[in-house]
């Protein structure tokens, strides 16, 4: 275990003042003092001073009597001196950011103590130019539009940074490092780079791994020498957010095979088995993330996240996030609800509403009659005043759950594993936080494994960005992960299509795979 050094480091430096016997120049004196102050793990790294900082560094070092604290970027293969302070800095704030297509989430972290000073989310202002990524890619075809999208992302980050700074009483100019994890399209748009080829066969990004660059180069309002580190991507559909996730849950270092599931616009899944990593992504997410279901919404206050139907007394209860007045249903709520509907036999194994079925009792019949309403051509189940779920919503959910299971199955089969061999299944994001694995198993969306194997992992994209901010060693680790990952393309995968068809039943065409789930014929 080697020591971890953050992306920007502080070096206590002290040098003898110049004399006739040693009139080494101020900057060269500073460099020598910094070289002497480097920890053993970084010793011998070449020290650079960016042109723009030569005058101020020399002046500050001299003014401080040739001793104080140097701040330096811990870049790959070199140390770049960017600042000098006469007193030991109490804090050295940095930003870790998950740049999502809809939301940003960021932490303000003190690189000296490792402490999180503040954490917040904000909307991605790019949404104004298109809710989904494909719309933005098409929009970005014009240079001017690309600039607008870039500016929207930059504005979003600047706004969120300003909020974090206010909260922690830190000046944005004090921030000298920012780590950003986002999907490949977000990364391209943030850098103002063409995303044209991302969505066109053979889905080639303009870049996978960007070298660290000045935050000012894209208009981030931080310290003028603040460096931006962008988590590298594996491909058009496997971005830096996922690479960050792999680092965050340690999938590249696991001894037993484990899985990471990240459901966003796509469902992205990785299995790591110690010396290998395999990944794929597929369109399983929309219905689960509020993108398709009519009443769907993101997991946010007022979203119904949990539903239960008491099948003795035929009463329905629900809970909304933050106990706020209900305004819609989030992905995990929909899964919960659909599982309850299935167990109450209000939907059949195809996910279709059924008002009646053989052997139905009177209480169930009355319950259904009160809530299953016909509206025009559509049947909808009334969850509570103003929130209902109709057949279209359920159909979308069924496609998503089928896609999810087919993805998991295809990927696992690809490496010759059974689900049972997965020691742990990390479920990232709001989906992982809110979903009930039990209900997802009931629907046949997640494999029928002991519940303790499912682990909510939180925002793994942000967590990975935080890791890198605190430990520069993660930079090479992230690049190594990119090189190691085998990416399985599902678009052209016949097995996936067959598995998808087999998964469009509750729990599955082959119920033997779900021994814990009741099957109603």
Binding site for a copy of itself (CB under 8 A): 18-20, 23-28, 46, 48-52, 54-55, 58-59, 76-78, 191-194, 197, 201-211, 213-214, 217, 233, 235-236, 489, 492
Determine the straight-line distance between the first and last CA of the chain, rounded to whole angstroms.
Answer: 57
Q: How far is the CB of 392 from a copy of itself (least distance, A)?
A: 33
Question: Residue 30 Cβ, how far from a copy of itself at the closest point, in Å?
Answer: 10
Residue 449: partners with Cβ closer than 8 Å, 6 or more residues away: 419, 420, 422, 425, 441
- CB of residue 230 vs a copy of itself: minimum separation in angstroms? 10
Shortest spacing between CB 27 and a copy of itself, in angstroms = 4
Among 211, 263, 290, 313, which residue's Cα sits nearest to residue 460?
263
Cβ density class 16-46: b for 16+ within 10 Å, e for less: eeeeeeeeeebbebbbebbbebbeeebeebe
Nearer to a copy of itself (CB atom), residue 26 or residue 98 = 26
Cβ-based nearer residue to a copy of itself, 215 or 445:
215
What are the CA-CA distances from residue 290 to residues 78, 214, 239, 311, 489 (Å)?
45, 36, 21, 28, 25
The nearer residue to a copy of itself, 108 or 242, going by C-beta atoms, is 242
Q: What are phi and psi of 270, to 5 degrees?
A: -130, 140
Neighbours of 476 (CB within 10 A): 10
Q: Which is nearer to a copy of itself, 147 or 315 (CB)?
A: 147
Q: Which is nearer to a copy of itself, 362 or 492 (CB)?
A: 492
Least Å distance, CB 451 to a copy of itself, is 38
Question: Smallest distance, Å, CB 221 to a copy of itself?
Answer: 17
Residue 233 or 254 having the CB closest to a copy of itself: 233
CB 481 within 8 A of CB 243: yes
| CA quadruple 356, 521, 392, 333: dihedral, nearest 10 | 100
Considering the complex, what minimum distance in angstroms separates the CB of residue 280 from a copy of itself? 13
Give the residue with the Cβ less far from a copy of itself, 213 or 357: 213
Task: Look at residues 19, 86, 88, 11 and name the one whose alpha carbon lies nearest to residue 47.
Answer: 11
Shortest gap between Cβ of 202 and a copy of itself (angstroms)?
Answer: 5
Nearest residue to 244 (alpha-carbon basis) of 482, 3, 432: 482
Give the sign of the dihedral formed by CA 508, CA 512, CA 518, CA 521: positive
State how far the Cα of 237 lies from the Cα of 199, in Å rounded to an integer: 9
Report the nearest approach of a copy of itself to the CB of residue 482 (Å).
9
Helix, coil or strand: residue 381? strand
Closer by beta carbon to a copy of itself, 90 or else 494: 494
- Hey, how many other C-beta atoms are within 10 angstroms of the C-beta on 320? 22
Residue closer to a copy of itself (CB basis): 22 or 423: 22
């Amino acid at each position: 275990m080697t020591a971890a050094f953050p992306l920007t480091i502080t070096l206590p430096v002290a040098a003898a003042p110049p004399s006739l016997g040693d009139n080494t120049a101020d900057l060269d004196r500073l460099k020598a003092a910094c070289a002497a102050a480097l920890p053993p793990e970084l010793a011998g790294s070449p020290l650079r001073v960016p042109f723009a900082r030569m005058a101020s560094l020399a002046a500050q070092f001299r003014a401080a009597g040739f001793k104080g604290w140097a701040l330096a970027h811990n870049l790959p293969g070199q140390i770049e001196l960017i600042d000098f302070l006469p007193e030991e800095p109490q804090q050295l704030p940095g930003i870790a950011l998950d740049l999502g297509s809809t939301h940003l989430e960021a932490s303000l972290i003190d690189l000296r103590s490792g402490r999180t000073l503040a954490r917040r989310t904000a909307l991605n202002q790019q949404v104004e130019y298109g809710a989904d990524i494909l719309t933005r890619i098409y929009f970005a075809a014009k240079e001017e539009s690309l600039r607008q999208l870039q500016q929207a992302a930059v504005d979003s980050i600047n706004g969120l940074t300003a909020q974090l700074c206010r909260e922690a009483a830190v000046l944005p100019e004090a921030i000298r490092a920012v780590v950003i994890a986002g999907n490949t399209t977000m990364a391209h748009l943030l850098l103002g780079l063409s995303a044209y080829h991302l969505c066109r066969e053979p889905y080639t990004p303009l870049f996978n791994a960007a070298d660290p660059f000045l935050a000012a180069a894209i208009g981030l309002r931080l310290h003028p020498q603040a460096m931006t580190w962008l988590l590298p991507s594996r491909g058009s559909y496997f971005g830096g957010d996922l690479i960050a996730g792999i680092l965050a849950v340690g999938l590249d270092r696991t001894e037993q095979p484990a899985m990471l599931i990240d459901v966003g616009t796509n469902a992205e899944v990785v299995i790591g088995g110690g010396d290998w990593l395999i990944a794929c992504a597929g369109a399983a997410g929309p219905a689960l993330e509020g993108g398709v279901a009519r009443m769907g919404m993101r997991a946010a206050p007022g979203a119904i996240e949990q539903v239960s139907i008491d099948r003795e007394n035929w009463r329905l209860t629900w809970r909304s996030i933050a106990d706020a007045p209900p305004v819609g249903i989030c992905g995990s709520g929909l899964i919960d609800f659909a599982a309850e509907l299935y167990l109450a036999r209000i939907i059949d194994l195809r996910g279709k509403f059924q008002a009646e079925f053989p052997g139905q009792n009177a209480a169930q019949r009355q319950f259904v009659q009160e809530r299953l309403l016909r509206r025009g051509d559509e049947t909808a189940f009334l969850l509570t005043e103003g929130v209902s779920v109709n057949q279209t919503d359920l159909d979308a959910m069924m496609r998503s759950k089928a896609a999810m299971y087919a993805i998991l199955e295809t990927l696992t089969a690809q490496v010759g594993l059974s689900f049972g061999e997965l020691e742990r299944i990390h479920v990232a994001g709001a989906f992982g936080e809110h979903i009930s694995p039990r209900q997802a198993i009931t629907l046949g969306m997640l494999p029928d494994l002991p519940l303790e194997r499912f682990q909510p992992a939180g925002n793994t994209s942000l967590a990975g960005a935080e890791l890198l901010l605190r430990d520069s060693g993660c930079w090479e680790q992230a690049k190594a992960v990119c090189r190691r990952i085998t990416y399985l393309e599902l678009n052209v995968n016949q097995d996936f299509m067959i598995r998808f068809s087999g998964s469009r039943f509750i729990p599955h065409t082959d119920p033997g795979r779900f021994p814990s789930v009741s099957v109603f014929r």
